[in-house]
Structure 1
């Protein structure tokens, strides 16, 4: 066993995995989060905009590879080890699938297909296993490392990750079933509970988009979910602004709420402020009859997807949408952050210091 593995604690090991994943998510998702909103209106009339939109969308599909490499970097592994961990993480992520008997241009073939960014939890598990195996092997293979490590760790651990993916994915399914139960409740209570749930999920390793699609959230439930994501972003922007450089709150406002994942998992009280902001902000959803689709449920303010879906499903105007989806969450988030820090002394803003540096 290597010396570095002996010195590593469970806590420090998990924190490095979280930090690497957080940076990867920000890097991979920000281009699409920023550019897609501006590009989509011009796609129909501009080849350049259509092509660039495809590029930023594909860029985010490589989140698992980036996560694996950056996790390995957190452990100060060599460049070769970094790409091996990245490859294993991608295999285990589920961001690809093998499809048989696909007909293309009158020809039938078996193809490999991109399938989103994959399961973040399984990506982390696979990358962590790859790091552990690399640390256990150490320098035992000598000059043969370049031959056997890609086989043992890259494809071997990747295969293990791929085989456990269906079981790990059940976590998302179970959470989805739990949230789906809220849709049977009275509209205001349903909106509050769904919104609070999505506010917490967006700063966890679970995908809000995946849950929204998995349980088919529509109508008020979808809008409430989107509001939960938006409210979490608003609260985090207000809280992080005081202890980080401008890039951090700007990234969060653009959709990188998961960069606070390590902070939330080490100091869970962060979730209380996000959930309370979401609960208050969501009251407008049933009162104004806003709705949405399964595809818009997990986005919040990213690309203004959830607000636009709410606009299309209700009789309110753009001004009301801006007030309810932007002004209210940010005002409520600011008040709650100040209440928790200055009045109740539940925490100091230092807990929002970004670990993704």
Structure 2
């Protein structure tokens, strides 16, 4: 069972990074350039489309992690798409892709599909290519689709709790929300989804974003010794979810980032770092958080706001994470560089 979840989480982590990095790299930058170079809108649209293909990519990468055959892998990808909720059907019957779906339900569906295709095995013989895709869609795919409302409701409860926290004093609120989002970004739950459901804004959104920043920067620094530079940077440029498998296997690897998040979140309440429901879950990906803070701050691109932005989003996350990682590795001996090894082969 442990090996099964290990492989499932590894596949999900890889799929998330592959699907989200293109938009994370160019999204916000293109939005600034497109008014002057409209033709670049096509590139932005493609990157958004790729994000909506996340469920299929997760299904495929999960299948590859389990070393399934090409037909089995493709079938798992289709089932994951069915159970993800990324496809919205209008009252007129039109179908459209919306967002990235419910990631945790995508994972559940992919896991069920893997169990299903492994159970079927070679039983279908020459009819495998004819029947397996359909059966995988109609059995585990449909089960995932039926679970979707319940999983989505369960995810909504997380939003309700966070919504209540926003009523606290700004410093306490900022620290608490930052820690929660630092953990959420390492889980199958969507930080963007949670933030948009409750329309998290103002200091709460700024603190949430800093929690994601703390996680991404910390995981990047911590994983550098055990991974390539490109893989380490993926934690910041893409998403810290690449560490999802390692986090579930050993939650203590996130302790330095959680403390960093608490400090940054508390400071967000002091210097009034704000954000929007969209920027709350992005961290440094695409520079969404820093740019939104500058755009919302009174005075815009003045020296004070630029200094706060550089300090809160770049300087402090790096310094705090380096200090705490050394403390937890050398003094407390609770973590090692190998704990952050990402298996992407």
TM-score of the pair, normalised by structure 1: 0.92
Deviation for aligned residue 1:330: 0.9
Match of 1:312 among 282, 289, 295: 295
Aligned length: 340
RMSD over aligned Cα, in angstroms?
1.3
1:18 aligns with 9
Match for residue 182 of structure 1 among 165, 168, 178: 165
- Deviation of 1:142 after TM superposition, in Å, equals 1.4
Q: Which residue does the alignment assign to 2:343?
A: 355
Is structure 2 residue 310 aligned with structure 1 residue 327? no
* Structure 2 equivalent of residue 267 of structure 1: 250
Deviation at 1:263, TM superposition (A): 0.5
| Structure 2: unaligned runs, 5 residues or longer | 299-303
CA distance in 1, matches of 2:174, 2:319: 19
Q: Residue 285 of structure 1 corresponds to which residue in structure 2?
A: 268
In 2, the alpha carbon distance for the partners of 1:309 and 1:55 equals: 23
Per-residue deviation, residues 95-143 of structure 1 (Å, max 9, x unmatched): 1111123xxxxxxxx3101011111111111111111111111111111
Q: What is the alpha-carbon distance in structure 1 between the residues aligned to residue 257 and residue 153 of structure 2?
A: 25
Provide runs of 4+ in structure 1 moved above 4 Å. Answer: none
Offset, 1:248: 1.4
Q: Partner of 1:248 in structure 2? A: 231
Instruction: Judge which range, 59-68 or 42-51, deviates more.
Output: 42-51
Q: Match of 2:96, SS?
A: strand
Say which SS state the counterpart of residue 216 (structure 1) adopts: coil
- Per-residue deviation, residues 253-304 of structure 1 (Å, max 9, x unmatched): 2022100000000010022122111011223211112222212211121122
Q: What 5-or-longer segments of structure 1 have no aligned partner?
A: 1-9, 102-109
Q: How does the TM-score come out when normalised to structure 2?
A: 0.95
Alignment of 1:41-52 (within 5 A): 41-52=32-43
Q: Distance in 2 between matches of 1:38 and 1:221?
A: 24
- Listed as ranges, the matches of 1:104-119 within 5 Å are 110-119=93-102
Change (3 A) 1:312 1:41: closer
CA contact (8 A) 2:223 2:232 kept: yes
SS in 1 for 2:273: coil
Distance 1:150 1:91 in 2: 12
Number of the residue aligned with 1:3: none
Do residues 141 (structure 1) and 129 (structure 2) align? Answer: no
1:54 matches 2:45: yes
